[in-house]
Structure 1
Amino acid sequence: MPSASKRQRLAATDPLPPLSRPYLALGLEGSANKLGSGIVRHNPDGSVDVLSNIRHTYVTPPGQGFQPGDTAKHHKQWILQVVQESVKRADLKKGLEDVECICFTKGPGMGAPLQSVSLIARTLSLLYKKPLVGVNHCVGHIEMGRTITGARNPVVLYVSGGNTQVIAYSAQRYRIFGETLDIAVGNCLDRFARVIGLSNDPSPGQNIEIEARKGRKLLPLPYATKGMDVALGGILTCVEQYTHDKRFRANSARSQAADSAAAVGSLANGPTLSADGRHVGGHSSPMPAAASPFADLQADVITPADLCFSLQETVFAMLVEITERAMAHIGSREVLIVGGVGSNARLQEMMGIMAYERGGKVFATDERFCIDNGIMIAHAGLLAHRMGQVTELAKSTTTQRFRTDVPLISWRA
């Protein structure tokens, strides 16, 4: 905790106006296959309360990705139930009459899902006569991460299915130090999960992480850092080629049948939906222990676990490298990992080793806040609203490309 004098200095430079009463906001997120609704409360003492954080995930069969049109249909089907559940969980006396504003993801993301959720946000805004606030998805991740972890001015590694960026704050903008030159790290992992037939339930990235812990071999893959940027497309192509190698052995039919025994969608959502933003369901697979290096290795066999392990180790090492460079550049000892891939325990471990060697610290959240959710949109939107930022109805469109360094971060000094 900062000292009393430091807290006074921070308060003196904080541009956020003080509150005389609690402020609430509803946030709607639907930029990809996660549909989220959350209600946040900002208190006069500066604290933030998460009143509800509801999410429902669109899960496709193994080997298939999610298409924009199908994802939008999912969001339209579930949006009312998700919003109603978030209002119920927040225990609002007057329902949405109690909120100050309706916040929604303006972008970046997939066009059709973004549009389906923004339509609901506009409808609620008109019905309850509440102002709209369009939120940058990436800024939502960062602000929620800072609030949950207490990180003050970290280098941010933002890793998700659609984005891979190294970010630092300066002069009321989140500045991008480095990013992917082609595909995002989450997209790279998800696509390889489909290649080897891993389930999309609860998420392909999580199943890659579980499979990687069984890996025994670190296979050579391209290491493609380009200054402060990374390139992941060639690595994905290379690791896919290993599946055509004569040494490759797929998982046994028995284990594949066991993996697919649960119905699609059951792991991510349970009977209806996730009531606190976690992946829940009737089936729970604990993270297996890492394989012993002294196990009976078969020198001429490559397994899916070996490929998952090698892919993670190579890609995560690249991310650690460019993050360390950004830390050195701005003189920071804090790293904040946000985005869906940020919940990967191995990435957090590797980043933690680097930060420890620099005398620093890593901040990360669990899947309730790393994975796309509505509460992060509510929080960032309420911060903007308190600074007088409102999105006019005529300008409440969505955009698939909305850079992290575009929005004005007026609530930070």
Structure 2
Amino acid sequence: MICLGIESTAHTFSCAIVQKNKKSGKILSDVRKIYRPPEGQGIHPREASRHHIENSSDVLLECLKKANLKISDVDIISYAAGPGLGPCLRVAGVIARTVSSYYKIPIYPVNHAIGHIELGKLLTGAKDPLVLLVSGGHTMLAALKQKKWRIFGETLDTTLGQLLDQFGRSLGFASPCGKKIEELALESENYVSLPYVVKGNDVSFSGLLSAAKKISSNQKDACYSLQETAFAMIGEATERALSFTEKKELLIVGGVSANKRLSEILKKICQRQKCKFFVSPIEYAGDCGSQIAWTGLLEATAKKGAKLDETFVRQSWRLDTVEIDY
């Protein structure tokens, strides 16, 4: 079975084609165009959606060309229905509905967060992990139980990705800022004390962000201290969740999973907890059509496509409300 997946939840517009054969999947193509805001600014939903609209036809055509397929070869279509930025989400929704209705191809709305998890499992081989999802839109620990992803800790305010982006923008960097902050952090070992807030198994980053901005005159020390504090908080919550759930696998997914320092900290935790460590490949850590296509293929094993009047988008769509039937 072959699926065309369309992703446009935030700054990335992506189309991908994935083929499923029994329980395995193969990515045939994955093409992306990323909206780049001006330096020091975040994503403007209207401008990002305009970018996606302008690039959508080229991305779709290139995706089919790289896969050496025609649209008539596609068995199903899936799109990211949420969570995300409303104007951006609607771009994928409209394109998916248009192609689906014109070519009579079954359509599947997909939860973006679950897409991260399912693609991460496919590419790493993780079977039953505790998942740490860290991105611009999510910071949570989840484990699958009784056909739903249950949350064992999350952020109470700012996500880890937003923390890095907002701090980076205060220094004049262009979003996304995580890579630049990681590079600067490597140039310092001078830790400046910052607020460390873990409540139960949840974390709070808003106070950390405000305090980090006050010491930002020395960018290298500030980036190092911000990373060490935030990642230590995530590490504490993760280790507690591993102990509580007794999971023997930890999987990190989402854009921030590309950070090597975060992986270094979590690897040590896995050694203490005697569990296997998995991290999504950097190429597929961020938002991409492959995560939507693969999840659509999984959904197609359990149910028929949605009716067109059911193919709406949801800006706020928690992954723990989704029934996992496959």
Per the TM superposition, whether the score is higher than 0.5 is yes
Q: Distance in 1 between matches of 2:137 and 2:126?
A: 24
Report how many residues are paired: 326
Give runs of aligned pairs for residues 242-391 of structure 1, distance below 5 A: 242-243=215-216, 248=217, 303-391=218-306
AA partner of residue 202 (structure 2): D
Q: Distance in 2 between matches of 1:342 and 1:153?
A: 18
| Post-superposition offset of 1:352 | 0.4
| Post-superposition offset of 1:365 | 1.9
AA partner of residue 130 (structure 1): I
Indicate yes or no: 2:21 matched with 1:43: yes
Q: Distance in 2 between matches of 1:60 and 1:376?
A: 24
Match of 1:179 in 2: 154
Task: Give 3-state SS (helix, strand or coil) of 1:387's partner.
Answer: coil
| Post-superposition offset of 1:102 | 0.8
Indicate yes or no: 2:33 matched with 1:56: yes
Indicate yes or no: 2:135 matched with 1:157: no
The partner residue of 1:144 within 98, 111, 119 is 119
Larger Rg: 1
Match of 2:64 in 1: 87
AA partner of residue 322 (structure 2): P
| Post-superposition offset of 1:204 | 1.1
Q: Deviations over 1:191-230 (max 9, x none)?
A: 1001112243xx3111111111112311111110111111
The partner residue of 1:117 within 92, 97, 119 is 92
Match of 2:170 in 1: 195
| Post-superposition offset of 1:148 | 0.4
Q: So what's the TM-score if we normalise by structure 2?
A: 0.98
Q: Deviations over 1:132-176 (max 9, x none)?
A: 100000100000000100011110000000110100010111111
- Do 1:176 and 1:404's aligned partners in 2 also have CA atoms closer than 8 Å? no
Q: Distance in 2 between matches of 1:57 and 1:212?
A: 25
The partner residue of 1:30 within 8, 11, 27 is 8
Indicate yes or no: 2:40 matched with 1:67: no
Indicate yes or no: 2:197 matched with 1:218: no
Q: Which runs of 4+ in 1 moved over 2 A?
A: none
Structure 2: tracts of 5 or more residues without a match? none
Match of 2:75 in 1: 100
- Do 2:12 and 2:34's aligned partners in 1 also have CA atoms closer than 8 Å? yes
Q: Distance in 1 between matches of 2:2 and 2:295?
A: 12
Q: Distance in 2 between matches of 1:207 and 1:392?
A: 44
Q: Distance in 2 between matches of 1:366 and 1:213?
A: 21
How large is the RMSD of aligned CA atoms in angstroms? 1.0
Q: Distance in 2 between matches of 1:322 and 1:129?
A: 46
Q: Distance in 1 between matches of 2:84 and 2:285?
A: 16
- Do 1:316 and 1:350's aligned partners in 2 also have CA atoms closer than 8 Å? yes
- Do 1:198 and 1:208's aligned partners in 2 also have CA atoms closer than 8 Å? no
Structure 1: tracts of 5 or more residues without a match? 1-22, 249-302
AA partner of residue 68 (structure 1): P
| Post-superposition offset of 1:367 | 2.5
AA partner of residue 31 (structure 2): I
**Greater fraction of residues in helix:** 2
